[in-house]
Structure formats: C-alpha cells, structure tokens
Amino acid sequence: MIPARLKSLLHGDGVPMQLAECFAASDRELYLVGGSVRDALLDRRQESVEYDFATDAHPDEVREILTGIGEIYPLGEEFGTVGVVLADTTVEITTFRSDVYREHSRKPQVEFSGDIETDLSRRDFTVNATALRLLPKPEILDPHGGLIDLGAGVLRTPLDPVIAFGDDPLRMLRLFRFISTLGFTADPAALDAVMSMGERLSIVSAERIRGELDKLIVGKNVEVALKALVDSRLADQFIPELSRLADAHDPLHRHKDVLSHTFAVVARCPPDRIVRLAALFHDVGKPDTRDFGPAGVSFHHHEVVGARMARARLRALRYSKSDVEQVSQLVYLHMRPHTFKMGWTDRAVRRYVRDAGEQLDRLNRLVRADVTTRSSKRERVIMRRIDELEDRIADLREREELDRLRAPIDGHAVMAHLGIGPGPLVGEAMEMLLEYRIDHGPYSEEEAYERLRSWAEKRGLPEPGSSGPES
C-alpha cells in the first residue's frame, strides 16, 4: 500500500515516471531515493524539488539512456553519478554503490554494488534510506526501519555510525543539519560516534563543509542544532571560535555566556543565510577584548576584532568574496546603533545608511535580534532607539536621495576643474565632497566647485582652472 503522500511522485507526466519508463525500456532498475521521498512522506512542501535516483545501470549506460531526453551535465561520473536537467528539474542518477573514504583522502573510493539494499545500507541516515520503486508497480523499500524513524523524528544510521561516518565524515555535520532543518533528534549512538571520531572531518574539503553549514544555518531549529554541534565538539573542527564564547560572560544578556546568547541571536534572525552567518560570528571578538573595570566586564571594539576573525574563518571555509565582505561588514557595524544614545541627527542617519549600503535591512534585523537583555526595561529602550532610527531613515528618504549619497559632481569634473589626471588626489577630493554631503545634506554644483577650490588651496595645489559652471 503506497501512502497517499507519495502519490504526488507517481503522476504519469511527472519527471520520476518519465525517467522510470526510459529505464524500464532499457531493462534497468530505477528507484527514487533520498530527500524527495523523505519530504513527501513528511508532507514537507518545497519550493523546488531535486530528485535523486539510484539504478543498477553504470554511468555510461545512464548517459546512453538519457541521451535525447534532457540536458546532461558533468557532475561526478567517477563517483557513479550522472546529472540531467529535465523539464527545468535537476535530477541526479547514481549507480548502486558503496563509497568509502581512504584514510587520508578527501575523495571517496567508489565501489559499485549490485542491488538496492546494499546501496541503501551505505546511505547517511535511515530516514534517507527508503526507496520508491516506480515500475512495474509502485513499491516502497525500507530495509532499515526508516519509516519508523521518520515517525519518531530520529536520526539513526543504517549501519553502525562508526562505519557510516567513516564512509563519509561529512555525515557527522549532516546530522546537525537535519536536526536544524527537520527538527529531528540524534540517536545517542550517532552522537557518541561524533564525539569519538570528529577529527576525521579534517579530510573533508572546506567547500563541502561550507555547503552543509549553509543549510544548517537557515533551519527552523537552528538554535538546538548549533548547541548540539558545539557540545559534540565537532564545531571545533571548522569553527573553533564558537566554543571559546562559552567562557566570555556578558552580564547584559539573560544567558550565562556569550555562546548561548549567540545561539539565541541566530534563531531570532530571519532565515537569511547572510544575516544568520553574521549573527553566528557577531560576538566572536569578545573573548579577545574582554576587560574588567570599575563598571564590570566590557568588550570594547569587539566588533572590529570580530569582523577580522569572521573574515578569516569564512575565507578558510572557501566562501565567496561577496559572502565574506557582506558577513564581515554586518559584524563590524552591528554595534553602530548603540553609539547614538542621544538621538539620530540627519548627519548620523546619512552616515549609517552610507556605511551599511545594500546591507541596511539586514543590519537592522541583526541589531534587533541582538537584543536579548535580561532587563525588559533595557530591551524597550533599545527597541525604541532602533524604531527611531528606522523612522528617521524613512523621513530622510522622503526629503532626499538617501540611498544614493553622492557629491553633485563626479571624478571627471574634478579632474577637469583641477587640471589633473587620474590618481589618488581625485579620490581624496571625491571623498571630501561626499563627506560634506553626508554632514550637510544635498548641495549644488556651484557649492561643490567652491568646496573644491578651498580644498585645493589648503593642499597647496595650483589654482584651479575655470572649467566650473561659472565659466
């Protein structure tokens, strides 16, 4: 009996059935496996579905079967996987296999197996080790009790977890990713294995680790997952800065340590990958800046130190240059609103908007999420301050081009007026004109040329020419 929830995968004109018919015509087996089956059984609606299949056909045979029905793309045929785009849907088809990492290698040594049961036994967790055979008639294969574990919300490995995690150490991190995204709990034996063999994650590439972290960080149960990740000591293998936060006590927050505060801030942020990564790193500079004075503990300039640490760690995890800059900028600026306790002047608002740039909305969300003080009165005060900031931004946007802060003249006009060519002086002049715009608001071209004359005179430059508008 096929559960009703799986019938969405069995439509005759759907991608799974189209592929099943192609493989059946070539007298080859094809099973739908992994996340699409799991999510259908859990009735989890996904914006886009990526189908994973398992087959007894070898990669060259798979390519032959797929020729003419979709766009085949290079994926990892040396590991038994062929990728194809069919009806705008991404599909991966993998030959029945068992893949085991060599002890010091980052690439698995792939051995093909002859049956689906062996293939399922080598998968990460039982909830991902159920298979749906589509033809000649629908049939569920569940040799490891995955359906029971789905019902119980438990993450258990089909084989001994030492074997499963030894086959692919990234599965240890995937355990916490599924805690975050599915809300499941880890089988105690799996956690014990992580505790004993976490160092084996070191043979996994930074790119694969980054991919799992990105998925973990946006999960609904991220706070629980992060705590378990640090408690297991697996986090020390790729973000060692986190565990140090447990010793950096911050009396302003209701949590006993900065680490617990960090977990809470991440969870309070929207599921935006960049802002949650920034929340994860926003206080990593505190252990190195902690100081004790008459007023108690302080962490002066921890945002500066933290931005530098975040940048280094994200680079080590092979994040893109854009990701590194966005996250580190949010970490660097997250304390900025707290420096304007006496109210927001136009000048302060302009500078805040200029410095935040395209990150403005994310920064405001991070700042709000960072308010976890034990004092309800203090929380109200901080939230009112952020409300005032956002009101002031909206007010200035109505009166001037706040999101396009720039001088009335450009670099070409500066060069023509001063009679100079490209170089550092042009940049200094443009920065001076922009600073005046931030401090005083919009001003005319005439005033810009007047400012430029005064600036050039103070710098001892030759008297400007007469290429300004007054000529």
Domain pair 4-152 / 153-238, same fold: no
What is the band of 466 on the pLDDT scale with cuts at 50, 70, 90?
very low
pLDDT for res 211: 97
Lowest mean pLDDT among 329-338, 391-400, 425-434: 391-400
Q: Where are the domains of the chain?
A: 4-152, 153-238, 275-403, 406-458
**Percent residues over pLDDT 70 in the chain:** 90
The yes-or-no verdict on residue 296 having pLDDT over 80 is: no
Q: Is the pLDDT of residue 470 over 50?
A: no
Share the mean pLDDT of the chain: 88
Q: What is the pLDDT of residue 199?
A: 96
**CATH classification of 153-238 is 3.10.129.10, yes or no?**
no
Residue type at 142 in one-letter notation: D
Tens digits of residue pLDDT in 35-81: 999 999 998 877 677 899 999 999 999 999 998 888 898 777 778 89
Contacts of 8 (CB under 8 A, 6+ apart): 14, 40
Q: What is the pLDDT of residues 121-158, one digit of tens each?
A: 999 999 999 999 999 999 999 999 999 999 999 999 99
Burial 116-136 (b: 16+ CB within 10 A, else e): beebbbbbbbbbbbbbbbbbe
Alpha-carbon distance of 146 to 156, in angstroms, equals: 9
Q: Given pLDDT bands bounded at 50, 70 and 90, which one contains residue 6?
A: confident
Q: Looking at the domain that runs over 4-152, which CATH code has it been given?
A: 3.30.460.10
> What pLDDT does 77 receive?
74
Residue 20 tokens, joined: 């099943």
C-alpha 6/C-alpha 24 separation (Å) is 20
- Are the C-beta atoms of residues 86 and 72 closer than 8 Å to each other? no
Q: What is the pLDDT of residue 195?
A: 97
240 pLDDT more than 50:
yes
- For the entire predicted model, the pTM comes to 0.84
Residue 99: pLDDT above 70? no
For 62, the token pair is 């798979």
Burial of 413 (0-12, 13-18, 19+ CB in 10 A): buried
Between 101 and 231, the more confident residue is 231
